[in-house]
Structure 1
């Protein structure tokens, strides 16, 4: 490699030292002049103005260009050969192998010598930006022999040490072979040992199986309950099993998301975790062995979306066929779901008054509550307890709330019974931003069916009621309007909306 570096460097130096070394700019100028002569014929030189570009000059110029190109190609080849030789030479200067970083004590001196020689071989030139080819060749020639000698010495010492260790190993080898024979005998007896181990483990496994057998009814009930509660969730609950023993026992719940193993319950939202807790609790609380024939739940719809609330109401309705179910909640979605499903449930409102006096009252639907408030306001006006202006301003708003509550109940009840998704109905309801559009949605499932609504409201009381909850909502009742008659018209309109839900 050193000889190759010297030869390539000498060839390049010889090509670069000649007086007639071609200059790229001169060659390019001659080529431009030849192109000018070819295109325009004989003429004076446009550069110096004294020479003549004729046929003789063109022949001489072509020969000069050819010679320059040939020498340039030779120079490039020599440069490439030198660079390739340099790359290959640098490739020989690899860092010492990791095997030389540590060594047995018996080889420490030889390894240290090899390490020193190898470092001298690689580290002296590293880190420098440029190294001349001749300097690199000198380095290779001066360092290769010490490195070769150190490695040869290390190889001989290692071979000697290996022979010595082999002599020590031979007695141990006999004992290892004897142990292997005993090992083979143990392997032959292992099936018997395994059977004894299985027999010893059987009581523990049997106990776990018995507990899982007792868990089976709860597992089946939890799956059925989750099927009701999950609604639009893509989480499936698989097997439920008891694992562990003593103080380490726990319930393992297998779950899948879109058919893929979930590897735990961390993927469940807060509402899904709450629904899962109910799905596990309800089957256990309603087992046949339970002495209690009632079920009390406190605010079970926390963090649930509306679809899961509907599923919970349906599940509790099934349980209520065999036991009394009492649910306490501050969430209006629960009674709304009960009313939509027309379940046989009694809804009571608990109020705490002055001095913590508690009162119970039968809870009607929101539309009827708004109507009751409206008629109460009219009655107070008749007793001259409410000014006429306040009545005319306030009454249309109460009546509008009543109409929209009835329209919402009708729209949701009818469409949910047809299998539509609750979230989709919520979006459509919110998009209908005016009372008339919501009434049209409740009646015709189309918020823009203005002509159909106009035909439907030809009855005078319907027309008056829609007018009251529409434009009069903002302007108030006119001076000549009858508040009692306006409330009665809205009451009849709400009855018509309720009838459309059936």
Structure 2
């Protein structure tokens, strides 16, 4: 195929990821953070699509197709295929059942048939074979590199509907498993569908530019970037939703807090209105850890926690004070002083006695300091000391009682008013506390003061403390719901602040993905478009339409595929000036590169009747395209006539030709399709040897077989000669049609000119004139009895003609 080297059509392609990475590398304006966001979204999307663990990329070929009771096939019919690269053409007339094999593969792999889309009623009523509807089953065999044979089966119960089928997969040596998911082909069937029918070719452009856009987008994997963009848009939406929710909650909290006169509410509103909200400070307020900064609450807490003198301590102090004062009164100072002097004097006398011994009193001279005096004196000293000790103890007790009284009264310090809080007992308390702190000097009056003024002040203080606690509790009750609302907002705001730093990167990444969509589409399309133009250059033989750039533009409802081109050099939209056959050829040109992509595990392509609307010149180009693809892929083509097989035979292309034959009762069989002249010779042999057939019938029918065999051989030789000389298919077809008689067609085949005289060629071998006379006689009446020798002559002449180049 001129212009296309082997492997060009199935050249290695960039993966979707590689295409996106190429665009990222080419963009120097995108910062690293946004680039990382794109890569992260791409990795997630790819994990969910192309790189799933269930995808199996092992190269796979078709081995056979078996059909029973389905569509045009009644009794079980099997089509054996060669599971290797190469071209196989299955020919059969319309209604022969050949398409039933193609539909079997399509149904087994995809669960539907493109041919019957939009015809569900007709399809549901006519999918079973009329002559032998049961058993109804499909079997498709595959071989996969690295594993044994695989068989996919579809079974229907006798009364089951089309959709009520059992689909299963079986590997060699293993039990069947439900469905075909275990094969890992789901993604590949979406992107690299290996079956294409004439109906699909014809409808590819029916939906207009947007439908073609969708078809190409799926083939090119464009949904990956679209999925990345959608993922980024979703992330952006999520981030914005989190921020919006946090801001909405903050505004609600501010509204609620503004209606409160609680200083915590006022303080929190100030914090909430800051551009950067100090979450730790706000949390400290709502949890109570920040009360030290809140004067009213702290004042109420201090009032509520005020420690007051205990009543029992006050009463005990008053009792001790009275007792000490009474003891002091019993020991008058004067008595104590005299007693002290006497004791001192006696101590001196005793000291004198201890040194001087028994002697007269040194003071008066009358008394005598003897033993009796000593004993008496010592007793008096002890009694005197006891009285002094009692007095001194009473004095200490009194001093301590007075100090305790002072301490108790001083504990009631004046308290200041709390802003905004009405405490009715505050003034009364301050008055009572001041009065209680004014302690009388008289000990008895002091005791009385404690039991009256101090106890009254303590009672009022308790009332004040209860009022403060109640005011604090009231504020806490009102603050609780407000604090809870703010507390619920804090984690939302934390999450929003975390996403705020990512929002810019996500937004930049999404903007990049949106802007790169067109470049990505055309980057992905570029190699496919180039291959499509190469293929079209072969298929467009004798067409004035040249295929130009193929582009995908727009988005959403404005998306469209544009096929540029020209007619006789004048630019135009290609599709608008193409015939149906040309449109089918373009559809093939677009389909084949993706179906044969190196990213596909399918190393086979099934084409059902692709040449139906093609003129002969395009069939030549089509064969050249298939021949190149067949170097790397198994190409299976179903054709309703012998035109494709004829071109293959005439051009000497290496291909396997199979014929589908339908007999009565929907019995279908396949056989190798030898060349048509040889088949006609075989039919002539069969007729001559048929003992049940009347000689009259043989004489009337057999000559026609002779003539048809001669003309078929001449046609094959003619096209082979024209092909080797570079003559266009259309010109070769016109010359053939211009030759009207068998003799003219023989002249065209062996001499290259339908007007040439073939007499010498005919007489060169007796068999040649013999078989031509038999063929011509059939057109004018009966001939004599024919023999096997006559058919042998026909066989030899056909071989001579076909061998002519």
Instruction: Give the TM-score category using the shorter length.
Output: 0.5 to 0.7
Cα offset, 1:342, TM superposition: 1.4
Q: Please report how far the alpha carbon of residue 453 of structure 1 lies from its aligned counterpart in structure 2 after TM superposition.
A: 3.5
**Residue aligning to 2:791:** 487
Select between 385-394 and 226-235 the one with higher mean Cα deviation.
385-394
Verify the 8 A CA contact 2:563 2:573 in the aligned structure 1. no
**Pairing 1:236-315 to 2, within 5 Å after superposition:** 236-315=546-625
CA change 1:464–1:456 in 2 (3 A) is closer
Deviation, structure 1 residue 476:
2.3
C-alpha distance in structure 1 between counterparts of 2:547 and 2:524, whole Å: 19
Distance 1:437 1:211 in 2: 56
> Would the aligned equivalents of 1:255 and 1:262 in 2 still touch at CA under 8 Å?
yes
Deviations 1:346-393 (A, max 9, x none): 11112344554331111122111211111111001xx2x122222122
Check whether the contact 2:660–2:669 (CA below 8 A) recurs between aligned residues: yes
After the TM superposition, which residues 96-495 of structure 1 pair with which residues of structure 2 at under 5 Å, given as runs? 203-380=513-690, 383=691, 385-450=692-757, 452-471=758-777, 473-478=779-784, 481-495=785-799
Tell me, yes or no, if structure 1 residue 499 matches structure 2 residue 765.
no
Task: Give the Cα separation in 2 of the matches to 1:232 and 1:204.
Answer: 42
- Tell whether the 8 Å contact from 2:529 to 2:550 is kept in structure 1 after alignment: yes
Q: Is the 8 A contact 1:295 1:325 kept in 2?
A: yes
Aligned match of 2:447: none
Shift of 1:285: 1.2
Question: Which protein has the bigger helix share?
Answer: 1
CA RMSD of aligned residues (A): 2.1
Instruction: Write out per-residue CA displacement over residues 116-150 of structure 1, whole angstroms, 9 at most, x where no aligned residue.
Output: xxxxxxxxxxxxxxxxxxxxxxxxxxxxxxxxxxx
Question: In the alignment, is the contact (CA less than 8 A) between 1:240 and 1:253 conserved in 2?
Answer: yes
**Contact kept? 1:234, 1:257, Cα under 8 Å:** yes
The DSSP-based 3-state class of the residue aligned with 2:550 is strand
Q: Quick check: 1:211–1:242 contact (8 Å CA) kept in 2?
A: yes
Q: 1:472 to 1:247 in 2, by over 3 A?
A: closer
Give me the whole-angstrom Cα distance separating, in 2, the residues matched to 1:442 and 1:375. Answer: 24
- CA deviation after TM superposition for structure 1 residue 448, in Å: 2.1
263-272 or 307-316, which deviates more: 263-272
Q: 1:358 to 1:263 in 2, by over 3 A?
A: closer
- When residues 324 and 243 of structure 1 are mapped into structure 2, their CA distance, relative to the original with a 3 A threshold, is same
Structure 1 residue matching 2:659: 3-state secondary structure: strand
Please tell me whether the aligned partners of residues 274 and 302 of structure 1 are also in contact (alpha carbons under 8 angstroms).
no
Moved over 6 A (4+): 198-201
Between the aligned partners of 2:615 and 2:646, the Cα distance in structure 1 is: 13
Instruction: Identify unmatched segments of 5+ residues in structure 2.
Output: 1-507
Q: Within 2, Cα distance between the matches of 1:268 and 1:411?
A: 30
Q: Return closer, same or farther for 1:351/1:490 CA change in 2, 3 Å cut-off.
A: closer
Give the 3 Å change call, closer, same or farther, for CA 462–205 of structure 1 in structure 2: same
Contact 1:368 1:402 in 2 (8 A): yes
Q: In 1, distance between residues paired with 2:665 and 2:653?
A: 35
Q: What SS does the aligned partner of 1:262 have? A: strand
Structure with greater contact order relative to length (CA < 8 Å, sep ≥ 6): 2
Offset of residue 203 of structure 1: 4.6
Whole-angstrom distance in 2 between the partners of 1:446 and 1:351: 36
Paired residue secondary structure (1:266): helix
Residues 472 and 271 of structure 1: CA distance in aligned 2, closer, same or farther (over 3 Å): closer
What SS does structure 2 have at the residue aligned with 1:240? strand
Conserved? CA contact 2:659–2:673, under 8 Å: yes
Tell me the secondary structure at the aligned position of residue 573 of structure 2.
coil
Please give the per-residue CA displacement for 1:177-210, whole angstroms capped at 9, x wherever unaligned: xxxxxxxxxxxxxxxxxxxxx9997653323212
- How many residues in Structure 1 have an aligned counterpart in Structure 2? 298
Mapped contact 1:301–1:309 kept (Cα < 8 A):
yes
Q: What are the superposed Cα offsets for residues 149-190 of structure 1, whole Å, 9 maximum, x if unpaired?
A: xxxxxxxxxxxxxxxxxxxxxxxxxxxxxxxxxxxxxxxxxx
Q: Tell me the distance in 2 between the aligned counterparts of 1:374 and 1:199.
A: 75
Larger Rg: 1 or 2? Answer: 2
For residues 86-112 of structure 1, the C-alpha deviation after alignment (integer angstroms, 9 at most, x for no partner) is xxxxxxxxxxxxxxxxxxxxxxxxxxx
Tell me if structure 2 keeps the 8 A contact 1:436–1:470.
no
Determine if contact 1:410/1:442 at 8 Å carries over to the other structure: yes
Deviation at 1:417, TM superposition (A): 2.1
Distance 1:277 1:491 in 2: 42
Structure 1 distance, partners of 2:787, 2:648, is 33
Contact 1:253/1:264 (8 A) holds in 2: yes
1-side partners of 2:769 and 2:697: how far apart?
Answer: 24
**Aligned partners of 1:306 and 1:290: how far apart in 2?**
31
